[in-house]
């Protein structure tokens, strides 16, 4: 039976109010209190961040508990263990002495153990004639028993927090997947809407999400994403109902599904512009023939400067390569990604690429390429825009330069016109097209 509880640590170690509180809690343990030491240790390990313990400190606490002979800690039993530093280092997987002392101090500060130092700082136990321990000096495990219920509650709260974080991350993953696929579906099915701006809104919300987001941040971002998800779902459902009703009213319509992902760049659109319906089919004025699809060669003849931006310096041979070069030209012109996405949504990839090529060809004459592209995008939404007049005007300018004595390539010619893919071959157009350029303005 212990005759005296030592309250102050040995040597230069300072006393603290936390130590006094731990000793008071250990002194008030009811006699019949019991707890499985390994179960309590598991709770401490799960709640170590809330308690303030370290992984090395837990390794030392595990070693100290192993020196207690019984599987349970009892309020009426002996709770002081007195291993030497060598024994502790051996059971703590060879931990260095300096590390051992530092983390023992952390365990004391966390209120997990109490130092019961002898007058000379040694750890030992004094036994009576009957072998019963009368006085022990070492480390008191009473706080582990006294705070067993507290550690259990902390462990439950940690588990609940982990579960809530896991649920929030799962919700984030599902919302992100749904939103991205709904936007892709809307663009592919040509659902009316400013999908470029919607995509920017989604990216702005996601940018608030750090790499290792906590539960509160994850739930906040998930709430904003859910609002966007709700709006997208309502738009798509409304559009789907409209399409179904139109399909039910028309018994002669056919649904054609194209499985080629690049068909929007390589194929010719079957639908004609509304403005072309009122054009007189008997006229041979090319400026009023939007029904005719612009060949890629005509676009490249009218806009030779875009050839400098082709990948690897190779000639542009497909609409996909023109679209890639237009993306680079967009950045060079200072057109924002949002303006580019809006143009592609309103005009289609092919028309947007032709438009950027024309703007890049006339970049020296256009002060604000981004503003000019947005104005053309607004016209395209109203069905009042076609890239054909721009390309025809550029072709006329090139033909006028070709008729000059110096061929338009004088000493002050812009180096942009020296594009390999256009300068390596003459400008070839049909005779009807040449005669159209030669007609005075206003003639039919």
Q: For 385-429, what is each residue's pLDDT tens digit?
A: 888 888 888 888 877 776 666 544 444 444 444 444 443 445 555
Percent of the chain with pLDDT over 90: 24
Say how far apart CA 172 and CA 226 lie, in whole Å.
9
Residues 18-28 have a mean pLDDT of 65
- Is the model's pLDDT at 291 over the cut of 50? no
- Is the model's pLDDT at 298 over the cut of 80? yes
Structure-token pair, residue 62: 């595990």
Nearest to 377 by CA among 399, 351, 401, 346: 346
- Which stretch of 68-72, 150-154, 200-204, 306-310 has the lowest confidence by average pLDDT? 306-310
- Which stretch of 108-117, 123-132, 163-172, 386-395 has the lowest confidence by average pLDDT? 123-132
Q: What angle do CA 143, 149, 154 make, to 5 degrees?
A: 100
Q: Are the beta carbons of 97 and 85 closer than 8 angstroms?
A: yes
What per-residue confidence (pLDDT) applies to 130? 74
What per-residue confidence (pLDDT) applies to 305? 86
Say how far apart CA 225 and CA 207 lie, in whole Å.
12
What per-residue confidence (pLDDT) applies to 248? 60
What per-residue confidence (pLDDT) applies to 39? 95
Residues 90-98 have a mean pLDDT of 89
pLDDT greater at residue 362 or residue 284: 362
Residues 435-441 have a mean pLDDT of 50
- Is the model's pLDDT at 194 over the cut of 60? yes
What per-residue confidence (pLDDT) applies to 366? 86
Q: Are the beta carbons of 137 and 6 closer than 8 angstroms?
A: yes
What per-residue confidence (pLDDT) applies to 250? 52
Q: Collect all residues with Cβ–Cβ distance below 8 Å to 375 and sequence separation of at least 6.
A: none
- What is the SS3 assignment for 336? coil
Q: Collect all residues with Cβ–Cβ distance below 8 Å to 145 and sequence separation of at least 6.
A: 26, 29, 33, 34, 35, 40, 73, 74, 75, 79
Where would I find the H helices in 8-96? 17-27, 37-46, 48-51, 55-66, 85-91
What per-residue confidence (pLDDT) applies to 173? 93
pTM for this predicted structure: 0.46
Q: Are the beta carbons of 391 and 297 closer than 8 angstroms?
A: no
Q: Are the beta carbons of 198 and 187 closer than 8 angstroms?
A: no
Q: What is the largest CA-CA distance in the chain?
A: 129
Structure-token pair, residue 144: 């582990």
What per-residue confidence (pLDDT) applies to 277? 38
The conformation of residue 283, written as its DSSP 8-state character, comes to -
What per-residue confidence (pLDDT) applies to 25? 65
Structure confidence at residue 282 as a pLDDT band (50, 70, 90):
very low
- Is the model's pLDDT at 137 over the cut of 70? yes
Average pLDDT, the chain: 77
What per-residue confidence (pLDDT) applies to 278? 36
Q: Are the beta carbons of 108 and 115 closer than 8 angstroms?
A: yes
- Is the model's pLDDT at 106 over the cut of 70? yes
Say how far apart CA 353 and CA 356 lie, in whole Å.
5
- Which stretch of 40-54, 116-130, 383-397 has the lowest confidence by average pLDDT? 116-130
Say how far apart CA 291 and CA 149 lie, in whole Å.
82
pLDDT greater at residue 177 or residue 441: 177
What per-residue confidence (pLDDT) applies to 4? 44
- Which stretch of 24-38, 65-79, 316-330, 430-444 has the lowest confidence by average pLDDT? 430-444
């Amino acid at each position: 039976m212990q005759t005296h509880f030592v309250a102050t640590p040995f040597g230069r170690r300072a006393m603290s109010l936390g130590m006094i509180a731990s000793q008071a809690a250990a002194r008030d343990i009811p006699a019949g209190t019991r707890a499985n030491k390994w179960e309590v240790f598991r709770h401490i390990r799960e709640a170590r961040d809330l308690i303030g313990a370290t992984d090395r400190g837990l390794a030392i606490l595990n070693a100290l508990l192993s020196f207690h002979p019984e599987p349970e800690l009892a309020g009426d039993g002996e709770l002081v263990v007195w291993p030497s530093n060598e024994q502790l280092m051996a059971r703590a997987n060879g931990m260095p002495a300096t590390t051992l002392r530092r983390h023992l101090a952390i365990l004391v500060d966390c209120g997990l153990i109490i130092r019961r130092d002898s007058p000379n700082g040694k750890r030992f136990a004094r036994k009576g004639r009957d072998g019963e321990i009368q006085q022990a000096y070492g480390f008191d495990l009473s706080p582990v028993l006294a705070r067993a219920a507290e550690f259990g509650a902390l462990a439950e709260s940690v588990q609940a927090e982990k579960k809530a974080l896991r649920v929030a991350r799962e919700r984030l993953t599902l919302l992100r997947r749904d939103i991205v696929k709904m936007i892709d579906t809307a663009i592919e099915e040509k659902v009316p809407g400013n999908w470029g701006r919607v995509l920017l809104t989604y990216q702005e919300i996601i940018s608030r999400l750090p790499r290792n987001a906590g539960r509160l941040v994850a739930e906040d971002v998930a709430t904003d994403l859910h609002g966007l998800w709700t709006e997208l779902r309502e738009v798509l459902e409304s559009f789907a109902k409209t399409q179904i009703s139109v399909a039910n009213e028309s018994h002669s319509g056919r649904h054609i599904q194209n499985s080629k992902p690049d068909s929007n760049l390589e194929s010719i659109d079957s639908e004609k512009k509304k403005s072309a319906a009122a054009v007189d089919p008997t006229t041979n004025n090319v400026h009023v023939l939007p029904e005719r699809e612009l060949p890629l060669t005509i676009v490249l003849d009218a806009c030779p400067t875009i050839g400098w931006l082709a990948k690897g310096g190779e000639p542009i041979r497909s609409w996909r390569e023109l679209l890639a070069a237009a993306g680079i030209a967009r950045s060079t012109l200072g057109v924002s990604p949002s303006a580019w996405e809006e143009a592609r949504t309103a005009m289609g990839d092919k028309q947007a690429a032709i438009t950027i090529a024309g703007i890049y060809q006339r970049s020296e004459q256009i002060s604000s390429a981004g503003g000019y592209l947005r104005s053309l995008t607004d016209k395209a939404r109203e069905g009042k825009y076609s890239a054909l007049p721009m390309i025809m005007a550029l072709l006329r300018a090139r033909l006028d330069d070709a008729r000059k004595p110096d061929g338009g390539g004088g000493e002050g010619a812009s180096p942009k016109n020296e594009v390999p893919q256009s300068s390596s071959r003459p400008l070839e157009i049909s005779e009807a097209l040449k005669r159209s350029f030669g007609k005075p303005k206003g003639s039919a």
